[in-house]
Amino acid sequence: MFLGGSYYALTSVHPSESAQLSELTGDGYNGSYVYNAAGCASCHMVKGSEDRLSLAGGQSFGSEFGIFYAPNISMSHTHGIGAWRLDQFAAALRDGVSPEGEHYFPAFPYTDYEKMTDQDIVDLWTFWQTLPAVETENNEHDISFPFSIRRNLGIWKVLYTDVRYVSQEGTRGAYLVEALGHCAQCHTPRDMLGGLDKSRWMKGAPSPDGRGNIPAISPSQLKWSAEEISEFLTTGFTPEYDVVGGHMAAVVDNTLRLTPEDRDAIATYLKKLPD
């Protein structure tokens, strides 16, 4: 009985307080900027599409636990999030919790988005409501047992959710990299349960789909200057005159829309990481 009660408590949904969000006035212009900085289109637009605002989902993401499919997060009331309230939007971003009270799989980087400011969340939701509704059905994830049991993610969250920053807390660069950009989700190795190994922050990792490796971007491994990093985030060209490819091309399609000051802040953050 005790073990059952403990399991129930640990795996229950615990959304954070969001009542204060309703007191803020949304700024759709900043929301559009946050949308790009957070990379929302990269995963949720249709693969091969150039329409960054039609978030029909469907892209597949392989992992050792199975295949995750990006859901429709357009303003469709039937297949997307058009019927959501602001507090439900915030709970999804910060807590990985659905309006139905279920845990989201951490392929959705809520462990980073939980650091987002109240104002950015409200602004993002204000912008989101201007996006089109796309009536495309969602694909079911293909996840192996027992990882497919969503309730168990409550225990995973106890182990891996942490609003503390790894480096340079309070700087714009840290906010862009660790909260909005969620760069560590690809560039940091994971342990056997899929949590980020923060002792090897930005040290590179195997590609989740098992094909190749994602490069390290810590100072000792990425020899580029801050100026070269900023240029790469703008043009997609490396100092060696190579061009960005793969999923990183979608990332650059986001960062090129940031201000030069924010791209410089990302570069500064990376150059100041402890090795």
Q: What is the pLDDT of residues 176-218, one digit of tens each?
A: 999 999 999 999 999 988 899 999 999 999 887 667 788 999 9
Domain boundary among 96, 131, 163: 163
Predicted TM-score (pTM) of the model is: 0.93
Rounded CA-CA distance 200/202 in Å is 6
Residue 20 lies in a domain: no
Residue 2 lies in a domain: no
Phi-psi region of 161 (alpha: psi -120 to 50; beta: other; left: phi over 0): beta
Same domain, 159 and 195: no
Same domain, 198 and 134: no
Residue 43 lies in a domain: yes
Same domain, 135 and 198: no
Same domain, 45 and 136: yes
Domain boundary among 163, 196, 215: 163
Same domain, 143 and 224: no
Residue 251 parent element (H or E)? helix 247-255
Expressed as residue numbers, the domain containing 230 is: 187-275
146: preceding bond cis by omega (within 30 degrees): yes
Residue 3 lies in a domain: no
Name the pLDDT band for 247 (thresholds 50, 70, 90): confident
Same domain, 73 and 110: yes
Tens digit of each residue's pLDDT (9 = 90 or more) over 128-166: 999 999 999 999 999 988 888 899 999 899 999 988 999
Domain boundary among 119, 147, 163: 163
Number of neighbouring beta carbons within 10 Å of residue 250: 17
Rounded CA-CA distance 158/156 in Å is 5
Residue 231 lies in a domain: yes
Same domain, 42 and 111: yes
Rounded CA-CA distance 118/120 in Å is 6
Backbone angles phi, psi at 17, to 5 degrees: -65, 130
What is the pLDDT, as a whole number, of residue 246? 82
Same domain, 156 and 191: no
- Of 201, 103, 208, the C-alpha closest to 158 is 103
Place of tokens 């303003």: 75
- Of 188, 187, 215, 216, the C-alpha closest to 200 is 188
Residue 182 lies in a domain: no
Cα–Cα distances in Å, from 38 out to 112, 236, 252? 10, 18, 12
Place of tokens 């969340």: 121
Residue 110 parent element (H or E)? helix 110-113
Residue 273 lies in a domain: yes
Same domain, 36 and 142: yes
What is the pLDDT, as a whole number, of residue 63? 87
DSSP 149-193: -GGGHHHHHHHH---S-SSSTTSHHHIIIIIIS-THHHHS-B-TT
| Alpha carbon of residue 255 to chain centroid | 14
Rounded average pLDDT over 76-102? 96
| Alpha carbon of residue 45 to chain centroid | 14
Same domain, 42 and 136: yes
Residue 102 lies in a domain: yes
* CA dihedral sign of residues 262, 265, 270, 273: negative
Number of independent structural domains in the chain: 2
Same domain, 113 and 57: yes
Q: Of the given ranges (10-19, 35-44, 60-69, 161-170), which has the lowest mean pLDDT?
A: 10-19
Same domain, 159 and 267: no
